[in-house]
Chain A
Amino acid sequence: MDFKNNKTVLLFCLVMLLTACNNIPSTYTESTEKLNIYPDYSDVFIPSNIAPLNFHINNDASSYLTRIYSTNGKSILVKGKDVQIRVNDWKTLLYNNKGHDLFFEVYLKQGKSWTKYPLLTNHITSDSIDNYTVYRNIQPLYTTYEDMSINQRNLENFDVDVLIDNRLYSADNDPHCINCHSFQNYNSTGNMQLHIRGKNGGTVLAFHNKLKKINLKVLGLKSGAVYPAWHPTLNYIVYSTNSIGQNFHSKNPDKVEVMDSRSDLILYDIEKNEVTKITDSNDWLETFPYWSPDGNYLYYVAAHFKPKQDSIETEIQTETIFNYENIKYNLIRKHFDQKTMTFGEADTIFSASTIGKSATFPRVSPDGRYLLFTMANYGNFHIWHKSSDLYLMDLATRELKNIDVVNSPEAESYHSWSSNGRWIIFSSRREDGTYTRLYISYFDNNGKAHKPFVLPQKDPLFYKRDFKSYNIPEFIVKPVKTNSHKLYRVACSEAEVATLTK
């Protein structure tokens, strides 16, 4: 027997066997039944640089074969119930097929025969998405808090960097809350801030490549600084100052109400370390500031609420609780003169209260044309309101545009525009009503929003097993340069106390 020939034959058989396993079945029946996959990655518009849309096939079969293809280039074949696509293959496919449809062709072997399911079709847009998003990873907590982190996710793959984890900062019996990460102009300047709450807390600021800690609990203010908004070009941050309370529903499915009993707006001058009041009224609750992309307008929300007893804090809080359904916020903006550094009068952009609603989180698109906001039946902390949805206003006409396609029966809340204005990332509890996930929706240049898709994960079943929520998603164009230990060291340092100017 010729051993060399036998080796060749064996090798040939092996190759045939392998390729046979990876070949599309030549005979199959066509099913009209829609394939049941999780997450739902069908009929969505995706960026050309998004990470692979790995998914799980819920239908039962003995074998699974998925072919992913588009107009150009090689198709990708994946075996198994979990369709996990190699990042490089995926990137190549998307790069070569911008503007084309993307197809998932799935075959299931049940018994001895294969069944081909209807094609799942998505569309690869020519518009890319910002490379990163930063969010807080936290359990949907009520009063206690334990482990949470602010993470930076590379949207082109599955890499996650932990910017800061509160367990670095917290001894076991002294947990700290980290929140309100915020960037100037999509982190293009490298300037960012976040708060650390708890013993020796403060605000950590990354400014001109230096880290510092500041104390914004300034004497003369009703409370410390809370929700931030960086001016896109100037070295200012507007904050709201909020006296926040939290109460629980004994029966209402919304479960939690987070309410302000007092809130105002302040302007923080980073270079001078000075705070100036923008609003200071006991009759109005002003919060959630946000600058227009050109820096000429400050948007925020305001609700009229005049407590009967405006000097006793506990009484005000009690009144807030009794009136929680009546506190409704409108969308306001003030013109900002960048030369004189002064604000104009308040201009009501949208009176949500007149239609029995309450608006929050105003976000102007990068081209200045649209205003995206969240609206629910009352209040401002809408992640706890199932009635909360996203709304879009055309700022030129002040008309609301229908973006029902992005909404669901569960809460939709915090949202951000990508730097090119083509993508919206937002938090939603549509999956199960409790755990917040991040969804991405395409916003085309005709002003139309498209069906959103959940932030892809390497493990398709990741969200099923994950007991943490994702909140405050912010797009950034370049990664954060610091690391958790540097941030931690600054967080442990003494804070510079800001001063209040008149």
Chain B
Amino acid sequence: MKVKILNWSAFGVFILFALYMTLGQNPDFLRKLQDLDLFLFNGPFFLDSMHQVGGLSMYLSSFLNQFFFYPLLGSLLLLILLIVVCLLTAKLFKLKGWLFPLAFIPSLALLLSMTELGYMIYYQKVDGFAYNNIIGVLLAMTGLWAFQKLKKLPAKVFFAISYLLVAYPLFGAYSLLGGLLMLLVSLKNYFETKQRTALILPIAILPSLLLIPIFYYEFVFEQIAFSDIYTAVLPNFKLNGSEILLWMPYLIIAVFFIVMALQKWNKLQTKQPLLHKIVPAFVFLSCLTVVYVFSFKDKNFNTELSMQAASENENWDKVLNLARKQQEEPTRLIVLNTNLALYKLGLAGDKMYHFKNGNKKMKSPRMILPIQIAGTLFYYQYGLTNYCNKWCMEGMVEYGLSPSVLKYFVLSSLLNGEIKVAKKCNDVLLSTLFDKAWALKYQKYIDHPESISKAQEFKNIQVLNAYDDVLDGDYGNMEAFLKNHFSHLRVVPKELSELSVLFSLETKNIERFWPRFFQWVRLNPTKKIPIHFQEAALLYERLEHKVDLTGAPFDVAVKANFSNYMEMVQQYGSYPEESLKQISYNRFGNTFWHYYFFVKDPLSKEKEDKEYKN
């Protein structure tokens, strides 16, 4: 009775824990998993998958991964599969009674393999990587289960070799795990029975494990490097630095299965009955703790994901709500997204410096740039459709087709008048299960290109396209490129007047500020001059005394505030910079003045070069 309560409790805890770690932590992360991977239910997609080692695993994984479009549905599906893994583990290794909690270890490790990812989702190249591990483990266990069911030696030999021959091309490295388990079980049997005939199995299996991948490499597959043949379908984590920790769940699974294959539970049960009751539960709870501790947790990462999701729906108010909740120093991506939202809502000129600024390093074990994550979004929203197109292509080249890049490829191609390419990409989305609705919405523009210029959503972007062509490059540095693009326009069209002033503020370039500022004033004679524009004008006039602002229609409050700022500078000017910075922030942190004097350009030349090289 007690053991039943324990086991059902373990089940309940596992279910709640898994749902909390997936759906509870960040549904936007789950949606992002779907957005970065493509599944098509057609023959060519299936055949293309089969051209790779582990192709069937990737195909099935991509199929399952797409359900993360609805995070609840995806989480439940994931949970069901993890439970299946647990039950199969219990059955295969006879983990019943007090031992049952141990059956959750592979499932917990598999859960960790997803929840530990964080920024590494942007580096994964294996299709459907969130599910490959689960499918692989299920395959390995099923193979072992079938192997153990066979009694006769010739049948076992035949099965083991056939299993590797069939499973390796379809499931990659996990087929080798299954083979390895068969080998261990055979060796265990030999050491127990001491029969020479028991050696036949290990002698047959070991060379097969080594040679079958080589056979496929030499004669079948053209698309895999020799160094990858034993790790096909596994993620591309490095074996050094902080990425080495990402291999932990895989190590846990491997060690667990090896131990299970060699274990003798009946001895433990009879010799150490107390341990037999306590240890499994303790191990289960420890594993839960390990999963929680080593899962990726970073508020900035969550905020970035949520902001990106909101931006893609052009829900700029939501972006600002998220920005208002920002407690810690933001990453550049958060700052960029906040500024984009402010601009879209017409609030940037008044509120840009009201939000937290910062340059917190992304908590990624591998160097990652904002452009890799959201370059397509930003370039599109700023009207730089050629660059949006470029980064769609870069994404497609390096990581394959995904709804994420296909959508922006459609949008930027529509605005560039490249209707045929837009159709090509949209046709792919029309073949998906969940992105079909999006594709149907934009199909009407493909069918009637004349309606593009009339659609408000495109008008808002097209209006930003009013610049002259420049031949250059962004060198992977989106923020610097945007700053330079808008603040260095040789001729500033009226549509880009506000942006050119805003980015001139960001670059703190006084020379570029004045002509753009006055142009804005001329173009908007009845509008109130945005507060930050006034702040910059007052400061620059004070610094250089080159422009006469007498009679400028500036707010009395802004002028008074500026006087106060100058008094503060005089009063505390001799203080150490850090102290002055804090004083300035406390009283004037939401002004351009504080930004000008105390917020360093996060993108110095040296840093730009280093980031680009990486």
- Spell out A's residues near B (CB within 8 Å): 139-147, 149, 162, 165, 167-173, 246-253, 255, 257, 321, 324, 431-435, 459, 464-465, 467, 484-485
A240 and B227 CA atoms in complex are apart in Å by 34
Q: Kindly state whether residue B274 has any CB partner on chain A within 8 Å.
A: no
Determine whether the beta carbon of B222 is less than 8 Å from that of A168: yes
User: Which B residues are in CB contact (< 8 Å) with A249?
Assistant: 386, 469-471
With both chains docked as a complex, state the minimum distance between the C-beta of A85 and any C-beta of chain B, in angstroms: 19
Residue of A nearest to B476 (CB): A143
Report which residue of A252, A464, A467, A485 has the largest number of chain B beta carbons within 10 angstroms of its beta carbon. A467
Determine whether the beta carbon of A145 is less than 8 Å from that of B420: no
Q: Provided the pairs A247-B473, A433-B420 are in contact, do residues A172 and B396 lie with their beta carbons within 8 angstroms?
A: no
Q: Provided the pairs A168-B225, A170-B225 are in contact, do residues A142 and B471 lie with their beta carbons within 8 angstroms?
A: no
Q: Kindly state whether residue B281 has any CB partner on chain A within 8 Å.
A: no
Q: Kindly state whether residue B108 has any CB partner on chain A within 8 Å.
A: no
A246 and B468 CA atoms in complex are apart in Å by 19
User: Which B residues are in CB contact (< 8 Å) with A255?
Assistant: 386, 389-390
Determine whether the beta carbon of A465 is less than 8 Å from that of B472: no
Determine whether the beta carbon of A165 is less than 8 Å from that of B236: no
User: Which B residues are in CB contact (< 8 Å) with A431?
Assistant: 420
Determine whether the beta carbon of A247 is less than 8 Å from that of B472: yes
A145 and B398 CA atoms in complex are apart in Å by 7
Known: A172-B228, A485-B218. 14 other contacts (CB 8 A): A142-B394, A168-B224, A168-B226, A171-B225, A171-B227, A171-B228, A172-B125, A249-B470, A249-B471, A251-B467, A251-B468, A252-B471, A253-B417, A484-B222
With both chains docked as a complex, state the minimum distance between the C-beta of B237 and any C-beta of chain A, in angstroms: 10
Q: Kindly state whether residue B445 has any CB partner on chain A within 8 Å.
A: no
With both chains docked as a complex, state the minimum distance between the C-beta of A162 and any C-beta of chain B, in angstroms: 4
A382 and B471 CA atoms in complex are apart in Å by 16
Determine whether the beta carbon of B473 is less than 8 Å from that of A248: yes
User: Which B residues are in CB contact (< 8 Å) with A248?
Assistant: 386-387, 390, 471-474
A102 and B393 CA atoms in complex are apart in Å by 40
Q: Kindly state whether residue B495 has any CB partner on chain A within 8 Å.
A: no
Determine whether the beta carbon of B222 is less than 8 Å from that of A141: no
With both chains docked as a complex, state the minimum distance between the C-beta of B150 and any C-beta of chain A, in angstroms: 36
Residue of B nearest to A138 (CB): B397
A168 and B216 CA atoms in complex are apart in Å by 13
Determine whether the beta carbon of A324 is less than 8 Å from that of B390: no
With both chains docked as a complex, state the minimum distance between the C-beta of B53 and any C-beta of chain A, in angstroms: 10
Q: Kindly state whether residue B384 has any CB partner on chain A within 8 Å.
A: yes
For this complex, 7 residue pairs linking A to B, each with C-beta atoms less than 8 Å apart, are A165-B222, A167-B225, A250-B470, A432-B418, A464-B427, A467-B401, A484-B222
Q: Kindly state whether residue B359 has any CB partner on chain A within 8 Å.
A: no
Determine whether the beta carbon of B125 is less than 8 Å from that of A250: no
User: Which B residues are in CB contact (< 8 Å) with A167?
Assistant: 222-225
Residue of B nearest to A167 (CB): B223
A249 and B390 CA atoms in complex are apart in Å by 10
Residue B236 contacts which of A139, A142, A172, A433 (CB distance < 8 angstroms)? A172
Residue of B nearest to A143 (CB): B394
Residue of A nearest to B425 (CB): A467
User: Which A residues are in CB contact (< 8 Å) with B223?
Assistant: 147, 165, 167-168
Residue A434 contacts which of B44, B218, B418 (CB distance < 8 angstroms)? B418
Residue B465 contacts which of A168, A251, A432, A459 (CB distance < 8 angstroms)? A251
User: Which A residues are in CB contact (< 8 Å) with B125?
Assistant: 172
Q: Kindly state whether residue B416 has any CB partner on chain A within 8 Å.
A: yes
Residue of A nearest to B389 (CB): A255
A484 and B428 CA atoms in complex are apart in Å by 31
Q: Kindly state whether residue B76 has any CB partner on chain A within 8 Å.
A: no
A248 and B421 CA atoms in complex are apart in Å by 19
User: Which A residues are in CB contact (< 8 Å) with B91?
Assistant: none
With both chains docked as a complex, state the minimum distance between the C-beta of A317 and any C-beta of chain B, in angstroms: 11
Determine whether the beta carbon of B420 is less than 8 Å from that of A432: yes
A146 and B44 CA atoms in complex are apart in Å by 21
Interface size class of chain B, counting residues whose CB lies under 8 Å from the partner chain: 35 or more
Interface digits, B398-421 against A, CB 8 Å rule (1 contact, 0 not)? 100100000000000000111011
User: Which B residues are in CB contact (< 8 Å) with A464?
Assistant: 424, 427
Q: Kindly state whether residue B485 has any CB partner on chain A within 8 Å.
A: yes
Determine whether the beta carbon of A250 is less than 8 Å from that of B418: no
User: Which B residues are in CB contact (< 8 Å) with A145?
Assistant: 397
Determine whether the beta carbon of B224 is less than 8 Å from that of A251: no
- Spell out B's residues near A (CB within 8 Å): 44, 125, 218, 222-228, 236, 238, 384, 386-387, 389-390, 393-394, 396-398, 401, 416-418, 420-421, 423-424, 427-428, 465, 467-474, 485
Residue B485 contacts which of A168, A170, A250, A485 (CB distance < 8 angstroms)? A250
User: Which B residues are in CB contact (< 8 Å) with A144?
Assistant: 394, 397-398
With both chains docked as a complex, state the minimum distance between the C-beta of B159 and any C-beta of chain A, in angstroms: 30
With both chains docked as a complex, state the minimum distance between the C-beta of B484 and any C-beta of chain A, in angstroms: 11
Q: Provided the pairs A139-B397, A147-B223, A432-B420 are in contact, do residues A250 and B228 lie with their beta carbons within 8 angstroms?
A: no
Determine whether the beta carbon of A139 is less than 8 Å from that of B393: yes
Q: Provided the pairs A142-B393, A142-B394 are in contact, do residues A169 and B386 lie with their beta carbons within 8 angstroms?
A: no
Determine whether the beta carbon of A149 is less than 8 Å from that of B398: no
User: Which A residues are in CB contact (< 8 Å) with B474?
Assistant: 248
Residue B472 contacts which of A140, A250, A459 (CB distance < 8 angstroms)? A250
With both chains docked as a complex, state the minimum distance between the C-beta of B77 and any C-beta of chain A, in angstroms: 28
Report which residue of B397, B398, B427, B470 has the largest number of chain A beta carbons within 10 angstroms of its beta carbon. B397
A114 and B398 CA atoms in complex are apart in Å by 48
Determine whether the beta carbon of B386 is less than 8 Å from that of A433: no
A139 and B424 CA atoms in complex are apart in Å by 14
Q: Provided the pairs A167-B224, A171-B227, A467-B401 are in contact, do residues A251 and B469 lie with their beta carbons within 8 angstroms?
A: yes
Determine whether the beta carbon of B396 is less than 8 Å from that of A459: no
With both chains docked as a complex, state the minimum distance between the C-beta of A80 and any C-beta of chain B, in angstroms: 14
Residue A250 contacts which of B238, B417, B467 (CB distance < 8 angstroms)? B467
User: Which A residues are in CB contact (< 8 Å) with B225?
Assistant: 167-171
Determine whether the beta carbon of B228 is less than 8 Å from that of A139: no
Determine whether the beta carbon of A465 is less than 8 Å from that of B44: yes
With both chains docked as a complex, state the minimum distance between the C-beta of A170 and any C-beta of chain B, in angstroms: 6
Residue of B nearest to A257 (CB): B471
Determine whether the beta carbon of B397 is less than 8 Å from that of A250: no
A485 and B44 CA atoms in complex are apart in Å by 26
User: Which B residues are in CB contact (< 8 Å) with A435?
Assistant: 421, 424
Determine whether the beta carbon of B44 is less than 8 Å from that of A250: no
Determine whether the beta carbon of B471 is less than 8 Å from that of A432: no
Report which residue of B226, B469, B471 has the largest number of chain A beta carbons within 10 angstroms of its beta carbon. B471
Determine whether the beta carbon of B396 is less than 8 Å from that of A467: yes
A168 and B421 CA atoms in complex are apart in Å by 30
With both chains docked as a complex, state the minimum distance between the C-beta of A180 and any C-beta of chain B, in angstroms: 19
A171 and B125 CA atoms in complex are apart in Å by 12
Residue of A nearest to B465 (CB): A251
A432 and B446 CA atoms in complex are apart in Å by 13
A252 and B417 CA atoms in complex are apart in Å by 12
A431 and B418 CA atoms in complex are apart in Å by 11
Residue of B nearest to A324 (CB): B471
User: Which B residues are in CB contact (< 8 Å) with A149?
Assistant: 222
With both chains docked as a complex, state the minimum distance between the C-beta of A319 and any C-beta of chain B, in angstroms: 12
Residue B397 contacts which of A141, A171, A246, A484 (CB distance < 8 angstroms)? A141
A450 and B238 CA atoms in complex are apart in Å by 55
With both chains docked as a complex, state the minimum distance between the C-beta of B43 and any C-beta of chain A, in angstroms: 9
Residue A432 contacts which of B224, B397, B424 (CB distance < 8 angstroms)? B424
Residue of A nearest to B406 (CB): A467
A23 and B153 CA atoms in complex are apart in Å by 58
User: Which B residues are in CB contact (< 8 Å) with A485?
Assistant: 218
User: Which B residues are in CB contact (< 8 Å) with A459?
Assistant: 44
User: Which B residues are in CB contact (< 8 Å) with A139?
Assistant: 393, 396-397
With both chains docked as a complex, state the minimum distance between the C-beta of B221 and any C-beta of chain A, in angstroms: 9
A431 and B228 CA atoms in complex are apart in Å by 37
A247 and B396 CA atoms in complex are apart in Å by 19
With both chains docked as a complex, state the minimum distance between the C-beta of A435 and any C-beta of chain B, in angstroms: 8
Residue B222 contacts which of A143, A162, A467 (CB distance < 8 angstroms)? A162
Determine whether the beta carbon of B398 is less than 8 Å from that of A251: no
Determine whether the beta carbon of B390 is less than 8 Å from that of A142: yes
With both chains docked as a complex, state the minimum distance between the C-beta of B124 and any C-beta of chain A, in angstroms: 10
User: Which A residues are in CB contact (< 8 Å) with B473?
Assistant: 246-248
A439 and B471 CA atoms in complex are apart in Å by 31
A147 and B125 CA atoms in complex are apart in Å by 12
